[in-house]
Amino acid sequence: MDKQELKKAGLKVTEPRLKILDFLHQSSVRHMSAEDVYKSMLEADQDIGLATVYRVLTQFEQAGLVIRHNFEEGHSVFELKDEHHDHIICIKCGKVDEFLDSTIEERQRTIAQERGFKMTDHALCIYGICTDCQE
């Protein structure tokens, strides 16, 4: 149950946090903006303010439950934290797809090492036009 996940993350179990976490788990769409989550809450008759959505999402991020991305749009996008992966984004419809490539992963480690960087994270984002939008 989500309650456990919240407790384990050191967060009090509250209605908004439960609802939002549940929604993230339930939803078929993986990447969502704060606004998206907010709207969904409204539609589900949940009375959660946008500010709270931002606060909760930020707490989730700090707790490591969620990852926040700043793709080349203007706003942040959140997704549940799972195994690491990179993104490929359609510049027409905004659809986000995921992938993982060990060759690239490895090269990245090497590159960071070569310049004396202690790598903490990395983000690879391919932009393009998806099959649907090419028609």
Contact pick of 4, 26, 28, 103 for a copy of itself (by CB under 8 A): 103
70 binds a copy of itself per the rule CB under 8 A: yes
125 binds a copy of itself per the rule CB under 8 A: yes
* Minimum gap (Å) between residue 51 Cβ and DNA: 3
Cα(20)–Cα(59) distance, rounded to whole angstroms? 12
DSSP class of residue 7?
H
Nearer to DNA, 50 or 80 (CB): 50
* Minimum gap (Å) between residue 65 Cβ and a copy of itself: 18
Cα–chain center distance at 75? 12
* Minimum gap (Å) between residue 61 Cβ and a copy of itself: 12
Cα(34)–Cα(116) distance, rounded to whole angstroms? 36
DSSP states of 9-27: TT----HHHHHHHHHHHH-
91 binds a copy of itself per the rule CB under 8 A: yes
Contact pick of 9, 18, 63, 124 for a copy of itself (by CB under 8 A): 124
Instruction: Write out the residues near a copy of itself by the rule CB under 8 A.
Output: 70-74, 88, 90-91, 97, 99, 101, 103-104, 107-108, 111-112, 115-131, 134
